[in-house]
Homo-oligomer: A and B are copies of this chain.
Amino acid sequence: MNFAQKVKSYKKINLCIGLDPVWEKLPEHIRTSEQPLVEFCGEIIDKTKDIAVSYKPNLAFFEVFGSKGWDQLKQVVSLVPDDCIVIADGKRGDIGSTAAAYSTSIFDKLSFDAATVNAYLGADSIEPFLKNPEKGIFILTLTTNPGGSDLQSLVCEGEPLYIHVVRLARRLNRLGNVGLVVGATKTQYWNKILETAVDMPLLIPGIGAQGGDIDALKLELADYASAAFVNASRSIIYASSERDFGERAREEALKLYEHFIA
């Protein structure tokens, strides 16, 4: 199934769970296991896979463990059910031949379905990620962090920079496999973004620990023509640091899910 069809098979608002296995936050009994990242993420996936339709491992938290982290990342991707979208959150962006190597690494070697991508280097830095219609990308548009506005909100030739990013994304979306990363903490700017995006899928970080407002988000998305993947990481995966972390993650995931569909 190609990426555009897969996205269409989901609801309007869906849960994505961010897999950010930060060592200090892992339950004690996990830290002493042979493959702590696989144990931890595997349990989260197992306990939430009937609630979430997407998982987003953050590559930094695997890379920091070196080759062992890289090996475990590959295993974590393989634990996600086939009907889910696994997103490599690596925010890569480089010139053509290098972007092609990142694309091969993420899509072919690690078997991710999608990747987050940084557009600062322009169209030819993104195109190598778009050749396979079964794989998709989410281009960083408006991020949740305070510094996000340092460059993203500059008014360039009459429009904020992030709107230029949306237009660039539209231009690249020939196969229907381009989406946008739009922060839930900044819904006041969404109107123009969604109008320009028309029907590109959205990956939305910033709810949960980062404080984004789900009701504001639901209101903005009410008439939007594509699916949104609302990501929560810490509020779900670190709901408990004890042996019950999987169960507690399930409870938190369920709460969020019920809030979406209510």
Chain A contact residues, CB within 8 Å of chain B: 20, 22, 58, 60-61, 63-64, 66-68, 70-71, 74, 91-99, 101-102, 104-105, 109-110, 118-126, 140, 143-152, 154-157, 161, 164-165, 168
Contact = CB atoms under 8 A, between A and B. Distances in A.
Contacts of A122: 143, 145-152
Contact of A120 (B68, B71, B152): B152
B157 A154 contact: yes
A260 B76 CA distance: 49
Contacts of A74: 66-67
24 contacts: A58-B98, A58-B101, A63-B70, A63-B101, A64-B105, A64-B109, A66-B74, A67-B67, A67-B71, A91-B92, A91-B93, A91-B118, A96-B145, A118-B120, A119-B120, A120-B143, A121-B145, A121-B148, A122-B149, A125-B145, A126-B147, A150-B168, A154-B157, A156-B157
Contacts of A67: 67-68, 70-71, 74
A164 B151 contact: yes
B150 A101 contact: no
A13 B138 CA distance: 39
